[in-house]
Structure 1
Amino acid sequence: MTRLQPHYESSPNERGPHVEFEAKTPDEAVELALLNLDMTRDEVVVTVLEKGSRGFLGLGARRARVRVEPKTQVASTVRALTSEVLRLMQVEGSVTAKQQGRNISVRIKTEETDGLLIGRKGETLNALQHLLSRMTARQTGLGDQARVMVDVAGYRSRREAQLRRSAQD
């Protein structure tokens, strides 16, 4: 039986609330985390920090270590980052963020500045999406595990429909 190792709580300024667990294997560490947090696998984002190793004849063995973060915290972090970027751009608007698996969908609604955020052929929107992806990776410690998709005033769905019509013609 694997014994529960102490978990380490980060300060909110560092990367946001998360817990880290250690066990013989990453799967066991995730199980321990889920039991401790009373959550399911679908409700958390797991990052394997160290895979661990068995060593040679038990000597030099290293324990696996994982970081577990509730998804709602990841989505709220992305929402806060997006709001801050909009504030720095001097753009007023409302931001919603939802997480489904590794994808985080960000929707921005503004009164008059949709064109400014979208840019020519979506270039500004793509740049904003890339910026938020990098900021999210750094802030949450998830690296490339989380994919941020930004949409302003339904531009992406309109553009997709337009491309489909063009492809059918």
Structure 2
Amino acid sequence: MKKAVFTGRTIEEAVKNGLQEWNLPAERAKVTVLEQPSKGLFGLIGVKEAKVELEKIPDPIEEAELFLAEVFRTMELDVSIERTEGEEGTLLNLSGPELGILIGRRGQTLDALQYLTNIVGNRYSNAHLRIVLDAENFRERRRKTLEDLARRLAQRVIKTRKEVVLEPMPPQERKIIHAYLQSYSGVKTFSKGDEPNRRIIIALRTP
């Protein structure tokens, strides 16, 4: 329910009644006064209560979670969502028995779903939001895999003195490799090409 009408002896009481029924903080509701209270004849007869209309102001993260829930319902997947706040933004961690289909090859499906979730959340936000989707700690496992790959390739570059060109990767994965090798002695990294075929090149660092 996005809108509803509430009454009370005063405007303030009517608003309070609505917020309590919805279990909603005041900043999440838009108030429209429909009728002022009146005492009636001699202050006794025909007493009329205040009437207000409350409209819920959407919470961006809640809307993002509702979007995900609808996706999972359509796919007939039993998935639960746990929300935590972190340095990178809001983390929505997915858990359930069939997460492989949501992760996809090297996380491509999860990345696409994260992209759509961010679009939905930011549609309801006045400031830019960053929502990170994870499933069974996939992001951390993938980060370690990429760092191991970066270390092995950097060692190859140092040994052979020939640059290595990686396969195309999404921006967030390239960022992990760039960051890991930034302080790695003897090599440097840079990206080449246009999305979605942009690649990292690991080359020998010259004095």
Q: TM-score, normalised by structure 1?
A: 0.51
Does structure 2 conserve the Cα–Cα contact (< 8 Å) formed by 1:75 and 1:98? no
Q: Does 1:84 align with 2:70?
A: yes
Q: 1:116: how far off?
A: 0.4
Q: Aligned runs of 1:62-81 on 2, under 5 Å? A: 73-81=59-67
Match of 1:124 among 102, 109, 134: 109
Q: Which amino acid in the other structure matches residue 103 of structure 1?
A: G
Q: 1:74: how far off?
A: 4.1
Does structure 1 conserve the Cα–Cα contact (< 8 Å) formed by 2:60 and 2:125? no
The aligned counterpart of 1:108 is 94
The aligned counterpart of 1:150 is 133
The aligned counterpart of 2:125 is 141
Q: 1:81: how far off?
A: 2.6
Q: Which has the higher contact order (CA 8 A, sep 6+)?
A: 1
Q: 1:13-59: CA deviations, max 9, x gaps?
A: xxxx6479xxxxxxxxxxxxxxxxxxxxxxxxxxxxxxxxxxxxxxx
Alpha-carbon spacing, 1:116–1:147, altered in 2? closer, same or farther (3 Å): same
Q: 1:120: how far off?
A: 1.1
Q: Which amino acid in the other structure matches residue 79 of structure 1?
A: E
Does structure 1 conserve the Cα–Cα contact (< 8 Å) formed by 2:82 and 2:92? yes
* Secondary structure at 2:111 match in 1: helix
The alignment-based identity, stated in percent, is: 26
The structure with more radius of gyration: 2
Q: Which amino acid in the other structure matches residue 88 of structure 1?
A: T
Q: 1:76: how far off?
A: 3.4
Q: 1:105: how far off?
A: 0.6
CA RMSD after TM alignment: 2.8
Q: Flag structure 2 segments of 5+ consecutive residues without an equivalent.
A: 1-21, 31-56, 153-207
Q: TM-score, normalised by structure 2?
A: 0.43
